[in-house]
């Protein structure tokens, strides 16, 4: 998935977000600027004693798609 900022034309890639989330956890969301889910990832992982580390990556693509859509970016095909 690639997203393009309408105002400045900058393109950001979110491909393989499930893999990067599985490998790096909350750091992936922090690097991408999605601080809401970076903090939520830490809290949920602590509350579930690490089980969320295996579940959260399944939701990463839709989380990133919603994050960029909320910021007004468009999907590049």
Specify whether the backbone of 76 is left (phi greater than 0), alpha (psi in -120 to 50) or beta. Answer: beta
The residue segments making up the domain with residue 39 are 2-76
pLDDT at 65 over 90: yes
The DSSP call for residue 56 is G
The number of folded domains in the chain is 1
Q: What is the pLDDT of residue 37?
A: 96
Q: What is the pLDDT of residue 73?
A: 95
pLDDT at 12 over 90: yes
Q: Given pLDDT bands bounded at 50, 70 and 90, which one contains residue 77?
A: confident
pLDDT digits (tens, 9 = 90+) for 13-64: 999 999 999 999 999 999 999 999 999 999 999 999 999 999 999 999 999 9
Is residue 58 helix, strand or coil?
Answer: helix
């Amino acid at each position: 998935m690639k997203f393009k900022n309408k105002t400045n034309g900058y393109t950001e890639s979110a491909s393989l977000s499930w893999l990067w989330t599985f490998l790096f956890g909350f750091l992936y969301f922090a690097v991408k600027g999605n601080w809401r889910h970076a903090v939520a990832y830490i809290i949920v992982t602590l509350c579930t004693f690490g089980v969320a580390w295996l579940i959260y990556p399944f939701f990463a693509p839709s989380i990133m798609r919603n994050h960029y859509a909320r910021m007004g970016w468009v999907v590049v095909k």
